[in-house]
Amino acid sequence: MKEKFKIFKEVFDQYTLKTLYKLSNDGYIKELGGIISTGKEANIFYAVDEENNPIAVKIYRIETSKFKREKYIIGDPRFEKKQKLSSKRGIIDIWAKKEFKNLEKAYKNNIRVPKPIIQMNNVLIMEFIGENEKPAPIAKDNPPKEPKIWLEKILNSIMTLYQKSGLVHGDLSEFNILNFKEEPVIIDMAQSVLRDHPLSDDLLLKDIKNILTWFKKLGVETPNANEFFRKVKGNV
């Protein structure tokens, strides 16, 4: 395992490597594989645990990160700790914990997201979505064969996420949904906010409009965005 980590020394700083060593020693990571995806804020690696179960290891970049996160953290009583917000490393650690907690809340309410396993510092381990070491494609690259059914499922997930989990995704689109065996799996929930967050209404309406716009392009008749927004909020 240590030899595998050495390959990535040019990518990961010592803080990240120490975190990975700790997770390895604790039995969460047996073998780290190749990169699943590289995003604006993190790299995701394929890995296996001590029982050879496939897992996804999301590593939030510290030094190269330029994404502005503070507006999603300030106003959230779960993570609003000013002493940690004063450093880039502290912000990234909160960001990783934020995604873990958000995934946890969604998963407990039967929303199809990757099951979170553990978070430590800037590393998040979660369920691998895919098979035979091949990750499921994003919906943008592999649209559903039955988009009307998908629309119903995703709108229901938006409503359940808000009404039962108390969350708004905040960046929902065809780029943050995986198509796994023709089932939608929602990903990337670090920026998700509590429904009483100052930004929640704006983000909720944005999510709804993004999804409806995409499905219109797929030829599906969609509801009015403002009417669905009111429906989501109406039962809370």
Active-site pick, 26, 76, 141, 171: 171
DSSP 114: P
- Cα pseudo-dihedral 19, 25, 30, 36, rounded to 10: -10
202 catalytic, yes or no? no
Residue 13 tokens, joined: 């700083």
93 catalytic, yes or no? no
CA distance 87 to 64: 14
Closest CA to 39 of 16, 8, 61: 61
Residues 6+ apart with CB under 8 A from 227: none
Residues 6+ apart with CB under 8 A from 4: 31, 32
Active-site pick, 188, 196, 201, 207: 188
CA distance 200 to 141: 28
Known catalytic residues are: 171, 188
